[in-house]
Amino acid sequence: MNFRQVTAPLPPQSCLRRFGADSLARAGTLAHPSVAAATPLPSAITATPLPSAITATPLPFAITAIPLPSAITFLGQFSDPVHGGFWMGLIYYLKIAVALGVAAIPEGLPAVITLCLALGTRKMVKRNAIVRKLPSVETLGCTTVICSDKTGTLTTNQMTVVAMAYPGTKADGLVEHTVTGTSYEPWGEVESLAELGPGVLDLAKVCSLSNQAVIQYKEGKFTRIGEPTEAALKVLVEKMGNPNVSKPSKDQPELACSAVNDHFAKEYPRNAILEFSRDRKSMSTLCGYQPAAKTSTGRTTRGSVGSGSNQLFVKGAPESVLERCTQVRLASGETAPLTPAQRKKILDFNAKMAARPLRCLAMAIREDVEDLATYDGPNHPAHKKLTDPDKFAELEKDLVFVGICGIKDPARPEVAPAIADCKTAGIRVIMITGDTRPTAEAIAREIGIFGPKESITGRSFTGHEFFEFPTEKQVEMLTKNRLSMVFSRTEPADKQQLVKILRQAGEVPAMTGDGVNDAPALKQAAIGIAMGIAGTEVAKEASDMVLADDNFATIVAAVEASPPPPPSSPLP
């Protein structure tokens, strides 16, 4: 490792100087600001040492360092009659001094800086870090804080349902089963599940129908199309099975990956999707109504009518979904009322699952969707209800709770050593995630952001909780101890606000992001880092660097790839 051991807390502006930045900065101390402006380092990153040193008005130094010795040397010549007097002689030699000072500026400085940064980009590419903007090479080496997403960056993003729970004989008496198997292979089972009763069957329906992912078998392996969380639920449905579907053998992997899900899709055709939103923290599908048969011209066949009735299948964050549930579906298929006390017990059960750590999703059904029961497309009279996403929460009400699924997203094995390297180098790591607080804290302990028994008082917050504090208190909590932190249940806007506070406090923050909503935070960070695999094009365009493998360790490796600072260069 090229990192230098740091044994004491570093001041806010401290950083690891990379790519010989100190040497270049010293070379630039004789440069005029106009020369610095011609270099490839814009004012947007003036918080980093190299551009700050270059633009630190070095011309006065040159004008004073050279004229003073000149004045002493030629003092006796000022009164030479050839100059026409003392003051004219002074002006004459002053012009010579200024000329000598300007001549001292190295004309090749911009080219040297550009070449050094370009060599840095080549090193980073070998570490799967693609630099989009040349100044980012120097900025990354001076990073003091790395703000990182959890899913896919600190973890593998290979989701697997490892536990499922549903109400047994009473509303708050959840029965939990362990689910075997890994990745997206449908081989595995739900342990101790003797039969698929009506209540458990409803849980399987929601997992399958409130879902847009597809599992397929190609080139000898099972792969997903869609979100990894939804893909994990589709795999769970295949493991649960269905009494009306024959289970394919391992010799039929093409059928085994979707047999049960295809059965549910045929039995409950999807007529509408209520997309996920961060406000209500849930998504749902309207499924069940079979539209009347139509001719090739699009007209309904005479005498034919639709069949079945739509139901709303909902999945989302347990605290959000349960808040809108008024009943529960027992294992026997009976429906029982849900009291506030029972709701709290279910949430306590969910908190224990989340602390393992598991990413938990609650499943629910709304069976009476009123005039949407026969909805079959945009021409339906009730279509207006589905055109305003802000009103989707009004449709996802009076729900029947059917169960919880616990999804495991293993931490990347190389992340823990990378975080240890960051601590050695004096770089803080701030994990920002939309998961629940117990899940986030458990993952943080697993990968080394928090120690196994370390106190995390004042270091773990939900987004809502943190931004309820006054601004002065927010700055104090982010900067007072210079320790790694965790923020859970955050919104994209929270990322931007955190970056703003860090920059105002004198930090040099790097921010990772993959979604369209992450673009403002990526732009505001000293260096925005987009995900090359899961990232959207908008996020990549807003970023300074792209991770080809979506891996947190790549960020640390990119910093490590640069040469260490000169031993004689003290940290500020």
Q: How far apart are CA 553 and CA 412, in angstroms?
A: 9
Residue 272 to residues 57, 65, 161, 310, 380, Cα–Cα distance (Å): 63, 76, 26, 10, 12
Question: What is the DSSP pairing of strand 399-408 with strand 359-366?
Answer: antiparallel
Amino acid at 278: R
Residue 267 to residues 244, 310, 368, 521, Cα–Cα distance (Å): 11, 11, 18, 44
Q: How far apart are CA 424 and CA 429, in angstroms?
A: 12
Residue 493 to residues 368, 431, 467, 519, Cα–Cα distance (Å): 36, 15, 11, 10
Specify the DSSP class assigned to residue 28.
G
Is the peptide bond between 357 and the residue preceding it cis, with omega within 30 degrees of 0?
A: yes
Q: Pick the catalytic residue: 22, 80, 149, 435? A: 149
CB 150 within 8 A of CB 444: no
With b for 16 or more beta-carbon neighbours within 10 A and e for fewer, the 339-372 pattern comes to eeebbebbeebbbebbeebbbbbbbbbbbebeeb
Q: How far apart are CA 331 and CA 147, in angstroms?
A: 43
* Residues whose CB falls within 8 Å of the CB of residue 527, separated by 6 or more in sequence, listed in order: 136, 139, 140, 143, 508, 509, 510, 511, 544, 545
Q: How far apart are CA 419 and CA 446, in angstroms?
A: 11
* Residues whose CB falls within 8 Å of the CB of residue 118, separated by 6 or more in sequence, listed in order: 134
Q: How far apart are CA 294 and CA 297, in angstroms?
A: 8
Q: How far apart are CA 319 and CA 198, in angstroms?
A: 24
User: The tokens of 290 are what?
Assistant: 């079979």
Residue 129 to residues 63, 124, 471, 530, 553, Cα–Cα distance (Å): 42, 5, 34, 10, 10
Catalytic, 388? Answer no
The SS3 of residue 191 is: coil
Q: Give the catalytic positions in this structure.
A: 149
